[in-house]
A and B are shown apart, each in its own frame.
Chain A
Amino acid sequence: AQSVSQHNHHVILSEAASLELGCNYSYGGTVNLFWYVQYPGQHLQLLLKYFSGDPLVKGIKGFEAEFIKSKFSFNLRKPSVQWSDTAEYFCAESGGSYIPTFGRGTSLIVHP
Chain B
Amino acid sequence: DTAVSQTPKYLVTQMGNDKSIKCEQNLGHDTMYWYKQDSKKFLKIMFSYNNKELIINETVPNRFSPKSPDKAHLNLHINSLELGDSAVYFCASSQENGRNTGELFFGEGSRLTVL
Interface residues of chain A, those whose CB is within 8 Å of chain B, are 32, 34, 36, 38, 42-46, 49, 51, 88, 90, 92-94, 97-102, 104-105, 107
A34 lies within 8 A of B42 (CB): no
Question: How long is the Cα–Cα vector from A94 to B40 in the complex, in angstroms?
Answer: 22
**Which of B41, B90, B102 interacts with A43 by CB under 8 Å?**
B90
Residues of A within 8 A of B35 (CB): 102
Question: How long is the Cα–Cα vector from A100 to B92 in the complex, in angstroms?
Answer: 11
Are A32 and B41 also in contact (CB < 8 A) when A42-B108, A99-B33 are? Answer: no
6 new A-B pairs (CB below 8 Å) besides A90-B43, A107-B41? Answer: A93-B102, A98-B94, A99-B48, A99-B102, A102-B43, A105-B41
Question: Chain A CB within 10 Å — which of B42, B104, B107 has the most?
Answer: B104
